[in-house]
Structure 1
């Protein structure tokens, strides 16, 4: 399955290249040479992260029917319903009534006026409960966006009690739009930017239920990454490799096609499962009871089912993957952007692997053996020469997953925002998007490394 950047959409629509798994690209036009524009020197910091995670954070917002939860992992949950609302699930064709409580964050002023914003959240959603995350921002021209829905999330998918987790299409005010999981300024060249935002969190449950969601982390990453075909090369600074489980998505080709046409598209959940297990977590036997016992690595099937976005019809919704990771005990997950392989080296040095999103032609990444319009892989270390050691799920079997990719090639395909596809058309790159999963209580070394890349 190939997903490319439609002509009708703005040139930088990074969300569209994230979730295709390995979408193999033909190389009919790959023999044509293209002269890339001169290399641009990027500013030191192009990303702003803000998360609400502490008891003080949860007390700082405006709540209606919510209460902060103290303890080792502070959060936000129901105090009493603020009211009831009706929701028609477009994927179940079912209308239901729900009790709700609501919390709105303080307004956050972006250190980097943004062209794109991606929200992340970590929550416990018992059966029959769900959450909705919305964003409202202010532009540089002083006007405001509407309240955009950034996601409707629940960990479960029991059609009798749960909604279908989903992104929401067709949201726009003529200045910005929501593309699956990403807020994006429609015309970045105009100079318009988002200068601040607030997040609104709605907790929902069946009327009269005692079950309630608890949200531990809510935040967003704003960025203004300039359009570029090439990025400055970083100097190698670390030789270290983490021991991360290896899983191939291709082992699952054709399995459970109701989830994005099967395992050949499961690069994102396969990568997520590798890092979840690196941190010592696994689904239970009960969680996996639905999987055909003849299938290898059933936890990968479970990850695909648990990250599937019923609107996007895929498993590559970035925040949904981070939210899935956080369903495991004492794990956190965020979506962010990094600026160079030096940032990744800081994380690897602290024992934190990363899932990165990139797209490339076959000849642009030596040894990959494929081209893709969007693919996720897991960076687990660096060789003595500074090359990237990655667990690439686009491999024929589990033992073949570990790959070594040339540093300069890999860094450029990951960090660029513009590239040429197989037909010579200019399409988008992700500009350094990655998922980071880490303990709810990081070690001092891990905390320092996360802070160095802007994550707290």
Structure 2
């Protein structure tokens, strides 16, 4: 989302002010791959643990925790479904004013103690929500001083938009932590307070009197405590490889669909998501795209924007909503996480897995970009022989211009740092390595090994 301040940025500024600092929030989001051949793998360098992921996705996982009207289903892709409703509830959609009755059931995960006591946590989920169903995802935890958080809503989600309006929930705080769109964050990390343990809760909803059900295949969270840093240590190049990923420009959609944030710079996240969805051989059907103006090029990008749009955030940059969109396609998993280094990205590219990364920078900090941004998503598809980053950057004038090569050292720093100076000389925040990973439900052995190496499986 080059050149614009996002609502995520504004929210983070408020959080930073409450903590007595000057910072912004993490940046907003603005061909099928062949099976990878063997590529020699370098010995990994030891890295301090700053990120810990936990995802529930197996039949054993779904049979754990506390089920209230839900049932685990086995099969090639185990999941959780609504079995016997726990009760009925009336839900008033804040974006339409419509009140509707819903049957619901709940599942609460076991308490998880992450290896990294966290200053931030981001939940993500993979689910199918037929018309007449939707889900709510919540997080509750225990602080390092032994006190508990309330239940925070991390998202109300449906793949469509006819039953509820997909939404985050603002103004959630207990005076010690807050939820900023999609991110749980300790208000004052310098105090030493950390999230020491957490649970996730799923509430599955359906129209009363029906047998409809959402199916949830994966839910989890990335917990992190990335130290404040303006620069990161340089990594040594370890791979030369480029994946063949479709190229789409967000800028060919400027002014399209104002109800989904008007295209252009606001669509970096769904445009990037669509590139990787199609890399894995999936795409919306002709019927799915029938609503798009036939005069518009690349209608699937419009489709991705509509189906990632967060009606509270008023944009398409909600990180978990993008992951959930990608995972709505058959056989795809998707998570939001943080990576520790370009070496982690090389590990993924080696196995044939591209990544969507979030970064912010001034124009002069990234040679060849031609713009500065308070938050932008792009797709990393490979590395040159010199170790420079090959990216499909949707902030390009047209599809042909999307492939870019960025200098390794510059790109590494703008992605992994947590502090930076903006054009006014003010200290603001960086994303600290946030990325989306989309990958097959049945990864190859090489892909499984790579995902385990970066802490996702």
TM-score range, shorter chain: over 0.9
> Secondary structure, in 3 states, of the residue corresponding to 2:116?
strand
Deviation at 1:9, TM superposition (A): 2.5
Partner in structure 2 of residue 245 of structure 1: 246
Q: RMSD of aligned C-alpha atoms?
A: 1.3
Deviation at 1:257, TM superposition (A): 1.1
1:249-294 deviations in Å (ceiling 9; x for gaps): 0000000011113233100000000000000000000000000001
Partner in structure 1 of residue 393 of structure 2: 392
Residues 13 and 25, structure 2, Cα contact 8 Å, conserved in 1 = no
Partner in structure 2 of residue 46 of structure 1: 50
Once residues 367 and 54 of structure 1 are traced to their aligned partners in structure 2, the CA distance between those partners, rounded to angstroms, is 44
Once residues 294 and 156 of structure 2 are traced to their aligned partners in structure 1, the CA distance between those partners, rounded to angstroms, is 31
Residue of 135, 153, 173 corresponding to 1:131: 135
Report how many aligned residue pairs link the two structures: 433
> Secondary structure, in 3 states, of the residue corresponding to 1:77?
strand
Matched, 1:79 2:83: yes
Question: Aligned ranges for residues 21-420 of structure 1 at < 5 Å?
Answer: 21=30, 44-158=48-162, 162-420=163-421
Once residues 289 and 375 of structure 2 are traced to their aligned partners in structure 1, the CA distance between those partners, rounded to angstroms, is 28
> Secondary structure, in 3 states, of the residue corresponding to 1:201?
strand
Residues 12 and 418, structure 1, Cα contact 8 Å, conserved in 2 = no
Once residues 333 and 92 of structure 1 are traced to their aligned partners in structure 2, the CA distance between those partners, rounded to angstroms, is 29
Deviation at 1:14, TM superposition (A): 6.7
For the structure 1 residues 71 and 13, does the alpha-carbon distance in structure 2 shift closer, same or farther, using more than 3 Å as the test? farther
Residues 347 and 353, structure 1, Cα contact 8 Å, conserved in 2 = yes
Question: Aligned ranges for residues 435-446 of structure 1 at < 5 Å?
Answer: 435-446=436-447
> Secondary structure, in 3 states, of the residue corresponding to 1:314?
coil
Partner in structure 1 of residue 27 of structure 2: 17
Residues 356 and 379, structure 2, Cα contact 8 Å, conserved in 1 = yes
TM-score (norm 1): 0.93
> Secondary structure, in 3 states, of the residue corresponding to 2:273?
helix
Once residues 327 and 13 of structure 1 are traced to their aligned partners in structure 2, the CA distance between those partners, rounded to angstroms, is 34
Once residues 117 and 241 of structure 1 are traced to their aligned partners in structure 2, the CA distance between those partners, rounded to angstroms, is 31
Once residues 46 and 380 of structure 2 are traced to their aligned partners in structure 1, the CA distance between those partners, rounded to angstroms, is 23
Residue of 9, 14, 26 corresponding to 1:8: 14
1:218-253 deviations in Å (ceiling 9; x for gaps): 000000000100000000000000000000000000
Once residues 407 and 387 of structure 1 are traced to their aligned partners in structure 2, the CA distance between those partners, rounded to angstroms, is 4
1:291-332 deviations in Å (ceiling 9; x for gaps): 000100000000000000000000000000000000000000
> Secondary structure, in 3 states, of the residue corresponding to 2:411?
helix
Matched, 1:455 2:450: no
Gaps of 5+ in 1: 22-40
Once residues 78 and 12 of structure 1 are traced to their aligned partners in structure 2, the CA distance between those partners, rounded to angstroms, is 45
Deviation at 1:43, TM superposition (A): 5.2
Residues 12 and 417, structure 1, Cα contact 8 Å, conserved in 2 = no
Gaps of 5+ in 2: 31-44
Residues 126 and 216, structure 2, Cα contact 8 Å, conserved in 1 = yes
Deviation at 1:420, TM superposition (A): 0.5
Once residues 46 and 322 of structure 1 are traced to their aligned partners in structure 2, the CA distance between those partners, rounded to angstroms, is 22
Once residues 150 and 23 of structure 2 are traced to their aligned partners in structure 1, the CA distance between those partners, rounded to angstroms, is 20
Residues 127 and 214, structure 2, Cα contact 8 Å, conserved in 1 = yes
> Secondary structure, in 3 states, of the residue corresponding to 1:98?
strand
Partner in structure 1 of residue 40 of structure 2: none
1:406-445 deviations in Å (ceiling 9; x for gaps): 0000000000000011111100100000000000111110
Once residues 236 and 199 of structure 1 are traced to their aligned partners in structure 2, the CA distance between those partners, rounded to angstroms, is 38
> Secondary structure, in 3 states, of the residue corresponding to 2:396?
coil
Farther off after superposition, 44-53 or 398-407: 44-53
Partner in structure 2 of residue 31 of structure 1: none
Once residues 261 and 111 of structure 2 are traced to their aligned partners in structure 1, the CA distance between those partners, rounded to angstroms, is 37
For the structure 1 residues 12 and 280, does the alpha-carbon distance in structure 2 shift closer, same or farther, using more than 3 Å as the test? farther
Partner in structure 1 of residue 37 of structure 2: none
Once residues 278 and 424 of structure 2 are traced to their aligned partners in structure 1, the CA distance between those partners, rounded to angstroms, is 39
Partner in structure 2 of residue 34 of structure 1: none
Residues 5 and 374, structure 2, Cα contact 8 Å, conserved in 1 = yes
Once residues 291 and 214 of structure 2 are traced to their aligned partners in structure 1, the CA distance between those partners, rounded to angstroms, is 24
